[in-house]
Amino acid sequence: MKNYKSSLLCLAGIAGLVLNASTAVAATSGSHYPLGGEGVAAGSPPPPGLHYRMYNTWYNADTLTDNNGDDVGLDFDLSAYAQIHRFVHITEKKIWGANWGYNALIPMVNKDISIDPIGVDASTSFALGDVILEPLALFWYRERYDAILTLAVIAPTGDYDVSDAASPGLGYWSGMLTAGGTYYMDTEKSWTISALTRTLVHTEQDDTNVRPGSEFTIEGGIGKQFMVDNQWLVRPGINYCATWQISDDSQDGPGTIANERKEAYGIGAELNMLYLPWLLQGNMRYVHEFGAKNTAEGSSFVFTLTKSF
């Protein structure tokens, strides 16, 4: 049953989930890829075929950090909900021994942000975010491991306004390279350990003319899956994630310092359940952030539903 117990690979972007504009963070805060978008089986691709996945992410943060990772002391509050609809097709066509696939993600974002001392109080009500298109996705299925290599483009389809901290879009294009995999620690493939990396490179942001620095993220986890009965398969596990800004912004943005790079870390737990007769999968994940610098620090809860056809 290996094909159906794998989670879909990456969650490429809850646009603007972390933050869009603040005087306390790097020149263009926010990211097209949220911390902890995938979890324990992040490096496991879906099986060949058609798949639909709906991500539901709730994010809350009340801390903004400086270059030393200290709370800047502002009365800050951010709450966001994003629902992402993902459509995946994995074909039988082989490229370099891998199955070729492609997919698209359409995010809808609801966000409220306030920073009282500087008069920021903005909200967005379930608006279209930045759409992700992944035309090249390669998946290797092996006896003791799975591997992933993909290229994606993220389009600035969401509205962006430099004066609106709750803008659902980020105002720039991004390219994203994804690479990683899952290793099966036993012959029954019940114990898994995974790592999935993403490298994001950006164009200049609308209105500010600032090119955000490139980003590198890694996420994954360790899990144990087992059959409850002949219909239900369950996989609990511990997940981890980390992100670093690996190059400076091109120049200072409004009220910011160009060479102050963002970073953050997260750890959490999750439970994945698969109802085999319907090929229906549900996943619940909690991620607690820590060690953040030049960005918001909070926590997220993710609930996903996946239907394979």
Tokens representing 4?
């159906």
Question: Could you tell me the pTM of the whole model?
Answer: 0.86
CA distance 9 to 33: 13
Contact at 8 Å (CB) between 231 and 276? yes
Report the b/e string of 134-150 with b at 16+ CB within 10 A.
beebbbebeeebbbbbb
The Cβ-side half-sphere exposure at 170, using a 13 Å CA radius, reads 30
Residue bearing tokens 């995974």: 194
pLDDT at 4 exceeding the cut of 70: no
pLDDT at 56: 95
pLDDT at 7 exceeding the cut of 70: no
CA distance 258 to 247: 10
Contact at 8 Å (CB) between 132 and 170? no
Average pLDDT, the chain: 86
Q: pLDDT tens for residues 89-104?
A: 999 999 999 999 999 9
Tokens representing 269?
């737990």
CA distance 51 to 267: 28
Tokens representing 139?
């998946």
Torsion sign, CA atoms 300, 58, 133, 264:
negative
For β-strands 232-245 and 226-227, DSSP reports them as: antiparallel
For β-strands 232-245 and 296-308, DSSP reports them as: unpaired
CA distance 20 to 160: 9
Q: pLDDT tens for residues 242-298?
A: 999 999 888 755 444 446 889 999 999 999 999 999 999 999 999 999 999 998 999
Q: pLDDT tens for residues 57-72?
A: 999 999 989 889 998 8
Q: How far is CA 137 from the centre of its chain?
A: 17
CA distance 206 to 54: 29
Tokens representing 196?
């999935």
